[in-house]
Amino acid sequence: MMPSRAEQSHLSSFTKPWEEVAELEARLTRATNVLSELYELLEEYGPHWYTPAQEERAESTLRLLRKG
């Protein structure tokens, strides 16, 4: 038996927050992966303008993102 329109609407409003959470998690995962790739490139090539302070910021941010 198919749910009524009212039931469908109720179910849709219930699952929407979970879909939004999943979308945010996917975006965060992608951002973490990109930051990790950029960090690896900076570590490998070590440009003269890449300071220890910037390196520490990148490392600490990656640690924070990977905890979650």
pTM for the predicted model, two decimal places: 0.69
Q: For residue 16, what pLDDT is reported? A: 79
For 15-26, write each residue's pLDDT tens digit.
778 889 999 999
State which H helix or E strand residue 52 sits in: helix 52-67
Q: For residue 17, what pLDDT is reported? A: 85
Q: Please provide the size of the chain in residues.
A: 68
**How far is the C-alpha of 68 from the C-alpha of 11, rounded, in Å?**
28
